[in-house]
């Protein structure tokens, strides 16, 4: 059996409380107020069910291309998944994970996750935190980003490390006892995550462990001991500024197609802005405008026409870097792209790897555009630790 999936959430929340104050009225969470920030650690389980008469995740979109790609590229699921105190689905309900995930990579299993964790138990009742990231679910270890929260998680941000526990091809799951390191135990947050691929016989079961901690940071290669070391050194860390420049290639037809329509509204074809039409994309990032120049990563996610008046796309985008010192790191975008403006500004709301706890600004300029493809020049300024 493979090792458990471990997810470590780093959240910054300012507070004026008394140093060392703790708050615990539930068995699955511990909250510590240090005076300048709050550290919350949790353990619970996430149940994502696609089969049977009462599924918690339902496919809402899929392009025709999905059946021909690994993992069903472009498929999109809407979820309302229960969160429970224990691995048994009948154990105490503490909340729900609500939102969407979709297959955003053409050649591997890469899920774009857009989820709000909504709690209903104890002092966390009516509090939420939001996850926006790419989950490369077949990698041994992957990192995901927390971009905000409400209630007790107001102004929170952070990240998660994930490691797969088990994969079951039949759809049935049996989860054994967790064995956690002394550093994580007993303040861990785990969830049961069932992901179904395009073919019914392929079902992935993942047991996750999550820690919500403010502020807690590590690189993926450091492991759990590195987390503890970084936590102690964080007050000495200084914020960094990184500038990036590259080209984003989006192709909607032809043999080199990288973006596929996944759904549209019943009025999309009658509006000048194609309102309600959405695409899933897996676009190359290159150092030069020529798509044959050096590839440094991928732009993966989905965008949709979200304005009646002028062409404006709602962008849910991950830049995944695959070369140089940023290899394995990501940046997350969420915002509106007024595509006809000469220069557009968009928000960087999070990152992983080198860009952990990132914030920043991206400017986009259209370099080339025709009926089938576009090349967009990006300049980024990123603040990170």
Tens-place pLDDT, residues 207-228: 333 333 333 333 444 555 565 5
Q: What percent of the chain has pLDDT over 90?
A: 45
The predicted structure's pLDDT at residue 253 = 92
Q: Which pTM value belongs to this model?
A: 0.78
The predicted structure's pLDDT at residue 143 = 79
pLDDT > 80? residue 319: yes
How high is the mean pLDDT of the chain? 77
The predicted structure's pLDDT at residue 361 = 95
The better pLDDT of the pair 48, 313 is held by: 313
Highest mean pLDDT among 1-5, 32-36, 52-56 belongs to 52-56
Q: What percent of the chain has pLDDT over 70?
A: 73
* Tokens 């600004």 found at: 361
CA dist 364 and 358 (Å) reads 19
Least confident residue range of 23-37, 83-97, 176-190, 196-210: 176-190
- Residue 353's pLDDT band (cuts 50, 70, 90): confident
CA dist 353 and 254 (Å) reads 34
The better pLDDT of the pair 185, 81 is held by: 81
Q: What is the pLDDT of residues 155-196, one digit of tens each?
A: 887 776 666 555 454 232 222 222 222 222 222 233 333 323
pLDDT > 80? residue 71: no
Q: What is the pLDDT of residues 100-127, one digit of tens each?
A: 999 999 888 888 999 998 999 999 999 9
CA dist 110 and 280 (Å) reads 12
């Amino acid at each position: 059996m493979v090792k458990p999936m471990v997810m470590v959430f780093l959240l910054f929340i300012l507070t004026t409380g008394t140093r060392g104050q703790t708050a615990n009225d539930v068995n699955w969470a511990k909250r510590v107020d240090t005076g300048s920030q709050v550290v919350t650690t949790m353990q619970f389980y996430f149940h994502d069910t696609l089969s049977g008469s009462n599924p918690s995740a339902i496919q809402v979109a899929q392009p025709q291309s999905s059946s021909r790609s690994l993992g069903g590229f472009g498929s999109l699921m809407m979820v309302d998944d229960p969160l429970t105190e224990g691995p048994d689905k009948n154990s105490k309900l503490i909340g729900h994970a609500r939102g969407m995930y979709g297959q955003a990579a053409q050649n591997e299993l890469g899920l774009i996750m857009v989820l709000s964790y909504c709690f209903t138990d104890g002092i966390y009742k009516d509090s939420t935190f939001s996850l926006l990231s790419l989950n490369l679910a077949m990698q041994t270890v992957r990192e995901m980003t927390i971009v905000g929260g409400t209630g007790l998680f107001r102004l929170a941000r952070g990240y998660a490390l994930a490691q797969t526990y088990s994969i079951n091809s039949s759809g049935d799951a049996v989860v054994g006892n967790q064995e956690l390191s002394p550093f994580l135990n007993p303040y861990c947050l785990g969830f049961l995550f069932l992901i179904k691929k395009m073919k019914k016989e392929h079902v992935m079961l993942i047991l996750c462990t999550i820690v919500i901690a403010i502020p807690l940071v590590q690189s993926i290669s450091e492991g759990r001991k590195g987390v503890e070391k970084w936590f102690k050194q964080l007050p000495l860390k200084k914020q960094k500024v990184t500038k990036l420049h590259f080209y984003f290639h989006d192709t909607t037809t032809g043999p080199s197609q990288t973006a596929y329509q996944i759904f549209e509204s019943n009025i999309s074809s009658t509006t000048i802005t194609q309102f309600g039409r959405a695409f899933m994309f897996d676009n190359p990032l290159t150092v030069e405008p020529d798509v044959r120049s050096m590839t440094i990563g991928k732009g993966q996610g989905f965008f949709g026409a979200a304005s009646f008046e002028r062409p404006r796309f709602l962008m849910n985008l991950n830049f995944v870097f695959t070369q140089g010192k940023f290899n394995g790191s990501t940046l997350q975008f969420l915002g509106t792209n007024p595509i006809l403006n000469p220069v557009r500004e968009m928000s960087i709301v999070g990152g992983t790897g080198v860009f952990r706890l990132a914030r920043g600004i991206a400017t986009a300029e259209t370099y080339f555009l025709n009926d089938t493809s576009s090349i967009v020049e990006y300049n980024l300024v990123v603040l990170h630790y």
